[in-house]
Structure 1
Amino acid sequence: MSFYQQNLQAFMRLLQEQPQLFTESKRQELIALIEPLPDDLETLSVAIASWYETDDEIVDAQLEILNNSILIENESKSDRITELAVARIPGTNEGNIPKPNQQINKETLKNAIQQSVKNPSAKP
């Protein structure tokens, strides 16, 4: 899996797990940012990373998820960890998070941004 895909998966996970980090205006900024972009994984990933780099709280949360995802992927490749063990790692949530083979595109990213506001477990 490319870094760009890992970055977008982690960002979509962040939207789902910590929607309180994203105010309505931030969600609107994100939609406006990605709307004119081509449906290209690298372009979308770079644009999202450039956007979240201006918010320390989002950067920290994104990096934590991204680092955990990379560690899990590396462990899984080494056959030292099973899918059941991955599911038990604190902070992992299978929910609507894209699976490694699931295609991420502009539409799935926009849906994740829009759905983050509707998340019933969202904290004020």
Structure 2
Amino acid sequence: MVPLDVDEKIRRVISRFPPPHRDDILRLWEQWVATSPAPPYYVGWSAFAREVDDSQQLYSEKRIYMRRVTNELRELEVPKTMWQKVAKALAAVASFFLVVFLALSRVARGAD
């Protein structure tokens, strides 16, 4: 059985999906939870989503939202390594400085 906190977090993620896909993905989530999946949940959900998905389509929005549920489950279950945390922090700092640099260059260009 999926832990209650994981179920609530995934339902919150699904509730942010656009209306045409929200109900379908939520219905699929409830069907999958009813099967009493075993950990790791992201592997089980991924296999379930692959079975339900139409593999003939090259691209579908539904597939993207099912993949997002898989990614959220993976983030909840697999703790990030120290290197991943450091890389995320460095990326945040770099993006901050990029925004500041672009703003300053815009101001300097406007002064000319």
State if a TM-score over 0.5 links the two structures.
no
TM-score (norm 2): 0.36
Q: Which of the pair has more CA radius of gyration?
A: 2
TM-score (norm 1): 0.33
Name the structure with the higher helix share.
Answer: 2
Indicate the structure whose relative CO is greater, using CA pairs within 8 Å and at least 6 residues apart: 1
